[in-house]
Structure 1
Amino acid sequence: MDITPLIPTGKQIVKGYGDGGFTIAGLRWEGSVLVLPDRTQSWSVTDLGGVTEDSLSPLLALTEKPRVLLLGCGKRMAPVPASLRAALRAAGITLELMDTGGACRTFNVLVSEDRSVAAALIAV
């Protein structure tokens, strides 16, 4: 029995993470990344302290913003400043914090459900 989730056409999933990067849609990305269902880009953030409104500006500048942003905090989940959460909320984005592995898995599930999601993943 095949239990692989069906991925909508034109969407990508995170196939793997670790060793300082990610495998997404068949490509290896070194370092942290911002992932949308249809594209990925490098992200200069190396730790949770670098997650700011400015570092998330590529997502905030989108015409169609994701409804949910999964923040993969690294090896362990940690809080973010209330001001960051408020800025995202003002843009119509709900922030969900989790460790990077959990964020990768959750992103894949939400993409398979064709949900409006993005992931900001700190490499581990």
Structure 2
Amino acid sequence: MNNGRLYDGFLPGRYPFDAYGNGGFRFADMSHRGSLLALPSGIRAWPINSVAELTDEALDPIFAESNELELLLFGTGTDIVAFPAAFRARFRDAGISLDVMQTGAAARTYNILLAENRKVGAALIAVP
């Protein structure tokens, strides 16, 4: 039962990004407004609009799949911003490499590494 919603914000499987901008992303013949997590299990809506909004809870879905991830690309929006040291330590402790960059670069890099069948994920903050 979907409680009247058309979707639950999750698409199982791994898909490249076709486009980004205008506050969202295009992938798998669909579009989504807002930020996304692209993890080995699938792509899910992510209620984060800036690095300043990050919490341990917001990062939990990433660490739940740490056995399937070697690298997480973190797209910070239109500008590269400092990633909090405490969160960097959490990635290091989980054995996940972290690469922080603009969202566009993260989406493009994700597509390349996904095509190479790498153990990659992406946390992408939507850009206007």
Q: 1:47-67, CA deviations, whole angstroms, 9 ceiling, x for partnerless residues?
A: 111123321101111263311
Q: 1:66-112, CA deviations, whole angstroms, 9 ceiling, x for partnerless residues?
A: 11010000001111111100101111111100000000000000001
Matched, 1:106 2:121: no
* Greater share of residues in helix: 2
Residues 40 and 110 (structure 1 numbering): CA distance in 2 closer, same or farther, change over 3 Å? Answer: same
Once residues 49 and 104 of structure 1 are traced to their aligned partners in structure 2, the CA distance between those partners, rounded to angstroms, is 20
Q: Which residues of structure 1 form unaligned runs of 5+?
A: 1-9
Q: Percent identity?
A: 41
Alignment partner, residue 42 of structure 2: 39
The aligned amino acid for 1:44 is P
Matched, 1:89 2:96: no
SS in 1 for 2:100: strand
Alignment partner, residue 48 of structure 1: 51
Q: Which residues of structure 2 form unaligned runs of 5+?
A: 1-12
Once residues 88 and 50 of structure 1 are traced to their aligned partners in structure 2, the CA distance between those partners, rounded to angstroms, is 17
The aligned amino acid for 1:106 is T
TM-score when scaled to structure 2? Answer: 0.84
Compute the RMSD of aligned alpha carbons.
1.4
SS in 1 for 2:82: coil
- Greater shift after overlay, 62-71 or 77-86? 62-71
Q: How many residues align?
A: 115
Alignment of 1:1-124 (within 5 A): 11-37=14-40, 39-62=42-65, 64-124=67-127
Alignment partner, residue 3 of structure 1: none
